Structure 1
Amino acid sequence: MKQNTSQKPQKTPQEASLNIPQQAFDWYDEYAHGDIDRRTFLTRLASLSVAGLTVSAIGGALIPDYAKAEQVSFNDPAIKATYEVFSSPKGHGEGGGYLVQPTSLPESGVAPCVLVVHENRGLNPYIKDVARRLAMQGYVAFAPDALFPLGGYPGNDDDGRAMQKSLDKDKIEQDMVAAALWLKEHEKTTGKLGVVGFCFGGYIANFLAASIPDKLDAAVPFYGTPAKQPLVDQVKGPLLIHFAENDKRVNATWEEYKVVLEKNAAEYEAFTYAKAQHGFHNDSTSRYSPKDAELAWRRTVEFFDSHLK
């Protein structure tokens, strides 16, 4: 990041996070999941006294800045990205998303595939970048947009969150099933299918592991809640599950889910990242934990390589 030497250097989100109290992260989680509105969130921040950080600095550090999230350029010659539409008769009728393929495929002309599922606010730039990262690892990646029936991600998270909340959740789930099956049958894929999801997408990864267990070869939920009863009883795995230590809402669901996985003799491995926040893989906010994100991502790619390649 370039700095203007005539002014006091600005803290990066990661530097700022060192001084942000846990309460602020908890309030942001409430805001990000629609439990409080933006005004309430900022009003609560104003009640904090944090040395060296203003309310605007804290809020700015917590709220995503997607310009920071690009690790793989959409123009990288090693990948090809397109927008695709698929049929979803049990969902909203039709869905759409972002398909990324490696430009250099094996001699067979096909590669394994991974569905990439966004948080509770539509297909934002961070999730597109995750899809590109997977394509760089040799996968055909598809990131569906739950907001496609409403015109797609609107360009800001507040509107995206409201739009996603307005949609029928059951239909969104069926759109994700349709997206997964469309990807599995795509002419450029081997038919080996994985899914990785974050927050709401983590829930969808667990949901797909329960709803299409015989179609899905590997699932990686990042800080996602399990599918509801009785559907959850169908989970078979394999699953690689990532948790953040400072994530009471999601972590409270784990013990009961673990019992189900054990009862089903499902293949799974779960990791909890010490002191990490919900959303620690998202590199556009101060919740991002580079060390934990890199470790979780390495484990994720190795898991997919093991089960899909």
Structure 2
Amino acid sequence: MTLARDTSAFATAVQPVAADTVILTPADGLVAGLVQIATPTGDLPAYRAAPDRPGPHPVVLVIQEIFGVHEHIRDVARRLAHLGYLAVAPELYFRQGDAARAPSIERLREDIVAKVPDVQVLADLDATLAWATAQGGDADRVAVTGFCWGGRITWLYAAHQPAVKTGVAWYGRLTGPTSELAPRHPLDVAATLKAPVLGLYGGQDTGIPLAHVEQLQAALAQAGSPSKIHVYPDAPHAFFADYRPSYRAEAAADGWQRLQRWLAGHGVGPR
């Protein structure tokens, strides 16, 4: 019931929905649901999922796709919680509007997403991290992962927040025009990352050229960064999004295993 409601809210942007591939992760054994996180400019809505047992649990901040914190992103949080993580997915442009009510992806981009300042996003992630560590999260085991719009933010947050030990960025934009609201992109922060990031990209992604991926790889190598990029040659953009036709089960499963190994290998694994 919840899945049908949430996918229909942005169906005009993603049709046809590949309903037979949608992964549904139960909340059994978890503490899961909506929470409110206090910030200086209003309460930040978020979805939290964590093991229903005493912590401290390692923390993963889950950064939404362009479509917001819909059921797929909530499901990702539950998958992480079943692995032993306290996962929190904040609604990072709630001040600008409700992504679920956008009539088309064009209106979503122009009316909401284009008005979201990076500085606001980073501050809200800081508030989310503080909330998570106050709710049983382990401040010494913090990671971030994000998809599409959130993939770009994952790189930026790894350059911003020293408490983050590592990150996994799924097909996030790497470079492009800058503005007052978006002054830097991942390519601009490759040399100032405070934590290693694993980037997962599709070789057939028409929005993120392989040339941009190669530029980032070169910048990371020049900076001596331990960050790594893995490209799935035949995968398109959003290959992990099981509710969309772009979903590629093999690449998604491999990426999920890589995420787990990467987090554990950088000290952010469950104990």
AA of the residue aligned to 1:238: P
Q: How far 1:258 sits from its partner (Å)?
A: 2.0
Of 143, 149, 159, 1:200 maps to: 149
Aligned partners of 1:70, 1:286: CA distance in 2, in Å?
Answer: 14
- 1:135 aligned onto 2:81: yes
Q: 1:235 to 1:113 in 2, by over 3 A?
A: same
Q: Is the 8 A contact 1:94 1:149 kept in 2?
A: no
Distance 1:253 1:184, change over 3 A: farther
Equivalent runs, 1:211-250 vs 2, <5 Å: 211-212=160-161, 214-226=162-174, 227-228=184-185, 231-250=189-208
Q: How many residues align?
A: 244
Q: What is the aligned-residue identity percentage?
A: 25
SS of the aligned residue for 2:235 comes to: strand
Q: CA deviation at 1:65?
A: 5.8
Q: Which residue of 2 aligns with 1:116?
A: 62
Greater mean deviation of Cα atoms: 227-236 or 182-191 = 227-236
* 1:71 is aligned to 2:24: yes
Task: Give me the whole-angstrom Cα distance separating, in 1, the residues matched to 2:64 and 2:231.
Answer: 21
Q: Is 1:96 aligned with 2:42?
A: no
Task: Please tell me whether the aligned partners of residues 190 and 223 of structure 2 are also in contact (alpha carbons under 8 angstroms).
Answer: no
What RMSD in Å do the two structures reach over aligned CA positions?
Answer: 2.7
Q: Structure 1 CA distance, aligned partners of 2:19 and 2:98? A: 17
User: 1:171 Cα shift?
Assistant: 4.5
TM-superposed deviation, 1:121: 2.2
Change (3 A) 1:205 1:166: closer
Q: SS in structure 2 opposite 1:293?
A: helix
Cα distance change, pair 200–60 in 1 and its aligned pair in 2 (3 A): closer
Q: Is the 8 A contact 1:110 1:189 kept in 2?
A: yes
Structure number with higher relative contact order (C-alpha < 8 Å, ≥ 6 residues apart): 2
Q: 1:139 to 1:96 in 2, by over 3 A?
A: same
223-232 vs 299-308, greater mean Cα deviation: 223-232
Alignment counterpart, residue 278 of structure 1, candidates 237, 251, 267 = 237
Q: Report the alpha carbon displacement of residue 117 of structure 1 after superposing the two structures with TM.
A: 0.7
CA contact (8 A) 2:90 2:125 kept: no
* Partner deviation per Cα, 1:255-281 (whole Å, 9 max, x = no partner): 222233223221122211121110000
User: Contact conserved, 1:88 with 1:174, CA < 8 A, in 2?
Assistant: no
In structure 2, what is the equivalent of residue 52 of structure 1? none
Structure 1 pair 157–272 and aligned structure 2 pair: CA distance change class (3 A): farther
Q: Which has the larger radius of gyration?
A: 1
Unaligned regions of 5+ residues in structure 2, if any?
1-9, 175-183
> What residue ranges of structure 1 are gaps of 5+ in the alignment?
1-31, 33-37, 42-58
The one-letter code sitting in structure 1 at the alignment partner of 2:56 is V
Deviation of 1:243 (Å): 0.6
Decide whether the 8 Å contact of 1:144 with 1:179 is kept in 2: no
Contact 1:247 1:278 (8 Å CA) reproduced:
yes
CA distance in 2, matches of 1:157, 1:78: 36
Letter paired with 2:48: L
Q: Distance in 1 between matches of 2:35 and 2:131?
A: 10
Distance 1:136 1:153 in 2: 27
Check 1:65–1:286 CA distance in 2 against 1; reply closer, same or farther (3 A cut): closer
Query: Structure 1 residues 230, 252: CA separation in 2 closer, same or farther (over 3 Å shift)?
Result: closer
2:203 & 2:245 partners in 1: Cα distance?
Answer: 16
Equivalence for 2:34:
83
Q: 2:68 aligns to what SS in structure 1? A: coil
Matched residue of 1:249: which SS? coil
Aligned AA (1:239): V
Match of 1:148 in 2: 94
Q: Deviations over 1:179-224 (max 9, x none)?
A: 4532553331111111110111100101111112x21111100011
Residue range with higher mean Cα deviation, 220-229 or 175-184? 175-184
Match of 2:113 among 143, 165, 175: 165
Letter in 2 for 1:84: V
Give how far 1:78 is off. Answer: 1.4
Q: Is the 8 A contact 1:120 1:164 kept in 2?
A: no
Distance 1:66 1:238 in 2: 35
Amino acid at match of 2:195: G
Q: Is the 8 A contact 1:197 1:220 kept in 2?
A: yes
